[in-house]
Structure 1
Amino acid sequence: MIKRLIVFIICLVPLLQNAQDFSALWKGHFSYYNIKQVAQGNNKVYAAAENAVFSVDVLSNEIKELNTVNGLSGETISTIYYSDLYELLIIGYESGLIEIAFDNDDEILTIVDIIEKPTIPAVQKRINHMNPYGNLVYISTNYGISVFNLERLEFGDTYFIGNGGSQIQIKQTTVFGDFIYVACTGGNGLRKAQVTSPNLIDYQNWQTVATGDFTAVEAVEDKLYVVNSNRQIFQVVNDVFNQVFQYNTLPSDVKSVGSNLVVTTNDNVFVYDASFNTISQVSTNTEFTTQYTSATTDANYIYIGTTHFGVLKTPLAIPTSFEEVHPDGPILNNPFSVQAQPDGVWVTFGEYTVFFNPYPLNSRGISHLKNDKWINTPFSEVFNAQCLNAISVNPSKSNQAFISSFFSGLLEVNDEIPTNLYNQTNSGLESLVEPNDPSYVDIRVGESSFDNNGLLWTITSFINKPLKSYNPSNNQWKSYSFTDVIPAEYGSNLGFADLEVGNDNTKWVASYKYGLIGFNENGGSPKIKSVYKESENMPVEFATALALDKRNQLWIGTFSGLRVLYNTSNFFEDNVSVDEVIILEDGIAKELLFQQLITDIEVDGSNNKWIGTADSGIFYLSSDGQKTIYHFTKDNAPLPSNTITDVSIDDINGIVYIATSKGLVSFRSGGSSPFETLVNAYAYPNPVRPNFNIVDQKVKIKDISENVNIKITDIEGNLVAEAQSRTNQRYGGYNLEIDGGTAYWNGKNLANNVVASGVYLVMLSDLDSFETKVLKIMVVR
């Protein structure tokens, strides 16, 4: 009954928003290893990671994820609280955002009142703690205390309790006896007020119990405890402080759980009874090198949030054995590069700036999603290779991957095991030169790509011979200079953002200062050319991303917009200029992606373009760029951030992996690359049963060739639908559409009516090879 009342009230509250559930086509690949806070209720333990939450049922051990795909914002979480009475989880964020997840409900309620408060500086809106009292929750923030009514799902008063009514940082509140006690930092002490006072909004009704910095206050049965910044915990009796213990490190979490007090420090969890007798103590374990962040307990177990292992579960009575509890996921939530494969995706977390600065150097491992299981390789196993970034998988040896390091060289991985680190001592790779420190080694290997001959090409920044080829079959390296277009004295100061290898063996390089560079060995007489000037129609000299499409046109992302080199075959012979893409918007001609900082461009099986940007999300464009099929942002899709760091496409399964600054998500676009023949073409689902929504979900005709005509007829030969690859492309509104290697039929005939039950023939004709094939589809309505 309570829940139904809440749902009714949701419709009446103006500053609440219902977030969408994107689980049909989207999937989140979030990391759940670094836990900010744990809470419990309804026989579940809830754990908040950086920007996602999971729950574990303590009876069945079932784990459920809650992330942007379910409707969360993707912002950075600061705390959580579960209400048993109202059966809901409240999630507080560093930005001041609050989201509410209801038990057994797919809807996420988004509350933006604090974010939209103009009188509170953005840096002071962080949610620090939530303390329940009856149907209210006292929300501690960096500006004061806000009161939220759980029954009405609306905010009440806000208390600014600093001297003169100023905004001060509140770490925690608790209700003890007739008073609400407040732990304040910044020298503002421990304060209290009558909890039933009708005028708590007046700062003069709050009195200072003690001065100093306080980080926690908690009531357990008939006892009150406070923690100060000196790591001391006191029992407060009639506002008199009695020190009971001093911790080695400052407690990060202090909470009352039933009749117990649970205190968490970096390396210990203490469980006390109300009189501060120790029930259990859990020290960090050598098997799990980590820090503790938060903890809770039930009658049998302690559940500890950690920075590296999710939640560790250990027996309350004898806490010597540990069970790691968390959903499967990558190591971290800040993917930098991704490389999709038919069985999953590789992920690295390297990070360097747009000006090719990797400092401060990071020490992170790699993650590989393979057959729906994450394989995580820690930094300790990658030969100390730092700032790992671009990934290339050997097309002739799918178990072999090469991962660039923007400091240490090139890492080789075989069968998930790092086997070699190529650097200046054992390969053709070179370190940049530091004039004041000749012994300094810094090998900034960036993008890489295999050519049709099995050679791996890499690009290294800040050296005079940046382009390298490596033959994995004989360990032979070759180096190539760009001095014909870049002065030698400047080449050692030049960074390179992307590398693309064409079928004619031309290497296309995106550079800083010299725009697009094309290079071809040309049988020992190298050809090289750059395009970067305004007279060549480049918007800026900084090219950031490249992609060759299926018509051999080169799409060029820059620091300030998009360009296309339509004629790549005569690049070295002609005076070259690149073109912007002009579109009509409301009848007005405009430049596509004008002044956008483009971070990546990928081409899918139907020659459409996925274009990632630095702050505007991701665009999905038709093959010529004239139609924006999708523009995904945080507002209309489960992107945790509008900053796209990389994109990669699994053309076999039609999955687009999108790496953002706050996590990895994938979108099942459904498109796939065409096949050379029609031998393996098939249709599904088949039969089409009554419970299948044929209009929306559509029948797929898979593994078709690139240039194909498709006719669907009934068993008597009457034409039902027809499509041709280059005419009836997907997203054109046709009943039968073709997208690369897949066709989609919505079950409608030429009269735009859904067909009746029966057997339908799908006649495929390759327009180039004249190969034909006939499929049968049974429709049951």
Structure 2
Amino acid sequence: MRLFATLSLFIIVLGSIAQTNSNIPIGVWRTHLPSKSASTIAYANNKLYVSSAKSSFTFDLSENSMEPLSKIDGLSEHEISVIRFNEETNTGLIGYTSGNIDIIKNGRLENFDVIYRSSIVGSKKINNITIYKTRAFVCCDYGVTVIDLVRNEVVESWMNLRINALPNIVYACVLNATQDSVFLATQYGIMSASYNKPGINLMDFVNWKVYTNISTSLSRSVGELNGRIYAGVSTIGVFVLNGSSWQNIGLTLDATSTCWNLIKSNNQLLVCANNNLYTIDNPTTYTKVFTTNSFKNLREAIYDRKGNLWLADVNEGLVGKNGGDTYSYFQLNGPSSTTTFNLYYYKNTIIANSGGYNSVYFPQYRPDGFYEFQAQDKWRSYDQYNSNYPPGIGDNLTSSYNSFDDTLYVGTFGYGYVSFQQPNTFVRHDTTDTPMKTMNVTGIDVDSKGTVWFATYGTPVFQPSLYARTKKGVWSSYTLNTSKNESRYLLQVKIDSVGNKWMRYGTNGMDKGVIVFNEKNNQVRYFTTSSTQGNLPSNRINCIDIDQKGVVWVGSEQGLSAFYDPSRAFSGSFSAPIYNGFGVLFDKNVTCIKSDGGNRKWVGTTEGLWLFNDNFTEALAFYTINNSPLYSNNIVSIDIHAITGEVFIATDKGIISYRSDATESNKDFSEAKIFPNPVRPGYSGVITIEGLKDNVMVKITDMQGKLFYEAKSNGGTATWNMINYAGIKAETGMYLVFATTDKGEEKFVGKIAIVQ
């Protein structure tokens, strides 16, 4: 299995390396995660393995290149808690917060899910791993599990290591030099026991010694060096075992330092404690490598074979120590946070809004600004520290682009809205320079005349909650219905093909639903679950979207529903599409909906991601953490890159994308192209024909004109897996591609060269 590919290192002092490729094939996933955080680091075969609970990557020191490491590369899960390698046996273990483990042997990855699947009650988080040739000692929140790495099986587990068999978190484990004693750093102190001796049951607490001459509440780490056992005690220092007593070696820590790890590397013991790093050579010789304010959450450190020192810091990520007190910082290109409230596509760009509100409509107080995936290639973050983004503004939650003034409008929860023009022009707007009566701008959309519409939340009684600003800067305010409290709490606005404004509303402890409004005749209508009031699937509406045909879709706690004819918005009702005899996803919490270029529906839920055909008569795919690289089943937002068809998916643990086989329809065939072309030996993906009009017939023949395959395009894209309807794979040769509209007024002809 290919675990790691290569990308060129871009900058030496700040290594910024893309986890992207603008030309990814159809059917391929890619990650979009921040890497400015690291809590564990390992070294093997001149390669660094770096991870936090948010993301992971490798740094090939031979090629000076970095590469993301994720489920796409074969990992079982997303949230890594520890990585350890034994270079002598060329074996590595990756431990997860769930208790799952991946074992790397000679470059091959194998899953070991015995702990994860066990009946152990409570947390199974893996805190540390120590490898001794064919044995791995896995330290968990419940105790220790010993694994035979030859047979890939559990040898024994030691649990409830506390008096009266009570739970005890184990942070670290080491054996002594003769490997006949085992030492643990636990939640309740340092413990030891005879190891690998017949008749001694280490599941029994009475066979363990708890040391009382060292802290029983602050002991966090243990290590072994040259036959001596050391213990790290947070806020106090490092101790060495002399006989049966512990003695401070003279290394003291300040009152704020946690002694996270004692790591054996380069025949030294590395003491990692927040902004302090020490090396221990023996019980009387230790060296302060640094005390620095450059980073303050150092968790682990390791030497490479050349003696270079590498650090894993929670706030700064991977750090390389240079000469003196200088450091190099390395990270992959990516968004600045895993937190996304909303995704939005405009002008070859995907924007991620990082703020929002919580489940009871309170602010999140997230200051991260927003981040953009630009030109299908790289992420750029906009916040007060790296751009002209106005300081003091948090919780941005919605975006809409106005092509009339080339401006992106970004709404926030509590700070008004921001107008943004590339490359770096921001202007803040709020109640001081607009007619708005609240600082909560929860919905923005632009109509066909270039007027920007703003929906707001928490408007005072009898005050307007919907606002419009023309391209000439003229404002209008709309009070929807003073007799209905719901009008004050708008959460989103979408404008349909006839100019109706669709809004969802709600606040904690109040009925929720949908409002439609048209200012031309001042019509307003409230939809609820009642059959006489619109027939919503649920009053808790999570999202509104309008598809390629103008149909208005709503997603709710009990599935989804559609309003098929917006011209009848003030008289008609919503209708749930039927799938397998029931309303589509009637028992699912639908969080977001997005239509692709072929008008197929991508539907996010709290249980995974669905893809349906355009009228919901067929479920085309269902992705979860169990059958895809998704980090989480909780889908927060979806949007689609119109040019490439790449589907961007925000989960509660970060953004991931999938290159689908549908793009926006083109006006003509002038930009039609075929890729890959030529198809070289070993290629197992699909051939893509893009730049087409919607739903055109595509025929593929050999050079003699014999039909080999035909299909209709999804939006502007058609694909071919190089197999005909009889299951015969295309042989080496030239093939012709014909695409034509229904009436034959436009045609495209191309050639494909296939080499098998």
Residue equivalent to 1:427: 434
Note if 1:241 corresponds to 2:246. Answer: yes
Cα distance, 1:448 vs structure 2: 2.0
Cα distance, 1:311 vs structure 2: 0.9
Note if 1:389 corresponds to 2:397. Answer: yes
Is the contact between residue 737 and residue 743 of structure 1 (CA under 8 Å) also seen in structure 2?
yes
Match of 1:450 among 430, 441, 446: 446
Residue equivalent to 1:551: 549
**SS of the counterpart of 1:204?**
helix
**SS of the counterpart of 1:69?**
helix
Deviations 1:416-474 (A, max 9, x none): 4252121111223332xxxxxxxxxxx22223222222222222112142222234x54
Cα distance, 1:72 vs structure 2: 2.6
Residue equivalent to 2:530: 534
**SS of the counterpart of 2:72?**
helix
Is the contact between residue 385 and residue 411 of structure 1 (CA under 8 Å) also seen in structure 2?
no
Q: 1:374 to 1:289 in 2, by over 3 A?
A: farther
Residue equivalent to 1:8: none
Residue equivalent to 2:153: 154
Cα distance, 1:648 vs structure 2: 0.6
Residue equivalent to 1:216: 221
Tell me how far apart the structure 1 counterparts of residues 26 and 279 of structure 2 sit (CA, whole Å).
39
**SS of the counterpart of 2:206?**
helix
Q: 1:231 to 1:478 in 2, by over 3 A?
A: farther
Residue equivalent to 2:409: 402
Q: 1:39 to 1:689 in 2, by over 3 A?
A: closer
Note if 1:97 corresponds to 2:100. Answer: yes
Tell me how far apart the structure 2 counterparts of residues 508 and 192 of structure 1 sit (CA, whole Å).
66
- TM-score normalised by L of structure 1: 0.85
Tell me how far apart the structure 2 counterparts of residues 158 and 775 of structure 1 sit (CA, whole Å).
64
Match of 2:503 among 509, 517, 534: 509
Deviations 1:130-155 (A, max 9, x none): 12233212112222211112222221
Cα distance, 1:366 vs structure 2: 2.3
Residue identity (%): 23
Residue equivalent to 1:604: 596
2:196 corresponds to which letter in structure 1?
T
Match of 1:743 among 708, 711, 718: 718
Q: Comparing 554-563 with 77-86, which one deviates more in the overlay?
A: 77-86
Note if 1:296 corresponds to 2:296. Answer: no
Residue equivalent to 2:183: 182
- TM-score normalised by L of structure 2: 0.87
Tell me how far apart the structure 1 counterparts of residues 74 and 399 of structure 2 sit (CA, whole Å).
31
Residue equivalent to 1:66: 69
Residue equivalent to 1:697: 685
Tell me how far apart the structure 1 counterparts of residues 56 and 106 of structure 2 sit (CA, whole Å).
14
Stretches of structure 1 that go unaligned for 5 or more consecutive residues are 1-21, 432-442, 722-734
Match of 1:204 among 197, 203, 206: 206
Q: 1:113 to 1:235 in 2, by over 3 A?
A: same
Deviations 1:510-554 (A, max 9, x none): 2223422111221xx322212113223223212111111222211
**What aligned pairs does 1:169-568 form with structure 2 within 5 A after superposition?**
169-178=169-178, 179-186=180-187, 188-198=188-198, 199=200, 200-210=202-212, 212-213=216-217, 214-243=219-248, 244-248=250-254, 249-275=257-283, 277-285=285-293, 288=294, 291-298=297-304, 299-315=306-322, 318-341=323-346, 343-359=348-364, 361-371=365-375, 372-380=377-385, 381=387, 382=389, 383-396=391-404, 400-417=407-424, 419-431=426-438, 443-463=439-459, 464-471=463-470, 473-483=471-481, 487-492=483-488, 494-496=489-491, 498-512=492-506, 513-522=511-520, 525-535=521-531, 536-568=534-566
Cα distance, 1:164 vs structure 2: 3.8
Aligned-CA RMSD value: 2.7
**What aligned pairs does 1:534-683 form with structure 2 within 5 A after superposition?**
534-535=530-531, 536-572=534-570, 574=571, 576-584=572-580, 589-613=581-605, 615-683=606-674
2:263 corresponds to which letter in structure 1?
K
2:115 corresponds to which letter in structure 1?
I
Match of 1:29 among 14, 27, 32: 32
Deviations 1:717-738 (A, max 9, x none): 55555xxxxxxxxxxxxx4232
Q: 1:156 to 1:23 in 2, by over 3 A?
A: farther
Tell me how far apart the structure 2 counterparts of residues 137 and 84 of structure 1 sit (CA, whole Å).
14
Tell me how far apart the structure 2 counterparts of residues 43 and 720 of structure 1 sit (CA, whole Å).
49
Residue equivalent to 1:117: 118
Is the contact between residue 240 and residue 283 of structure 2 (CA under 8 Å) also seen in structure 1?
no
Tell me how far apart the structure 2 counterparts of residues 136 and 67 of structure 1 sit (CA, whole Å).
26
Is the contact between residue 363 and residue 385 of structure 1 (CA under 8 Å) also seen in structure 2?
yes
Residue equivalent to 2:694: 706
Cα distance, 1:716 vs structure 2: 5.2
Is the contact between residue 26 and residue 660 of structure 2 (CA under 8 Å) also seen in structure 1?
no
Is the contact between residue 411 and residue 418 of structure 1 (CA under 8 Å) also seen in structure 2?
no
Tell me how far apart the structure 2 counterparts of residues 747 and 302 of structure 1 sit (CA, whole Å).
50
1:72 corresponds to which letter in structure 2?
L
Q: 1:418 to 1:388 in 2, by over 3 A?
A: farther
Is the contact between residue 698 and residue 712 of structure 2 (CA under 8 Å) also seen in structure 1?
no
2:647 corresponds to which letter in structure 1?
V
2:610 corresponds to which letter in structure 1?
F
Tell me how far apart the structure 1 counterparts of residues 267 and 600 of structure 2 sit (CA, whole Å).
61
Cα distance, 1:637 vs structure 2: 0.7
Cα distance, 1:342 vs structure 2: 6.0
Figure out how many residues of one structure are paired with residues of the other and give that number: 708
Deviations 1:111-170 (A, max 9, x none): 22222222x3223x2211112233212112222211112222221101133224443121
Q: 1:132 to 1:744 in 2, by over 3 A?
A: closer
Tell me how far apart the structure 2 counterparts of residues 172 and 23 of structure 1 sit (CA, whole Å).
44
Is the contact between residue 234 and residue 259 of structure 2 (CA under 8 Å) also seen in structure 1?
no
Deviations 1:371-403 (A, max 9, x none): 4222223454532211122222333566x4322
Q: 1:775 to 1:135 in 2, by over 3 A?
A: closer
Tell me how far apart the structure 2 counterparts of residues 762 and 237 of structure 1 sit (CA, whole Å).
80
Is the contact between residue 282 and residue 319 of structure 1 (CA under 8 Å) also seen in structure 2?
no
**SS of the counterpart of 1:91?**
strand
1:739 corresponds to which letter in structure 2?
N
Is the contact between residue 170 and residue 182 of structure 1 (CA under 8 Å) also seen in structure 2?
no
Tell me how far apart the structure 1 counterparts of residues 539 and 712 of structure 2 sit (CA, whole Å).
40
Q: Comparing 229-238 with 149-158, which one deviates more in the overlay?
A: 229-238
Is the contact between residue 281 and residue 319 of structure 1 (CA under 8 Å) also seen in structure 2?
no
Tell me how far apart the structure 1 counterparts of residues 479 and 339 of structure 2 sit (CA, whole Å).
34
Cα distance, 1:627 vs structure 2: 0.6
Tell me how far apart the structure 2 counterparts of residues 671 and 335 of structure 1 sit (CA, whole Å).
24
Tell me how far apart the structure 1 counterparts of residues 422 and 408 of structure 2 sit (CA, whole Å).
9
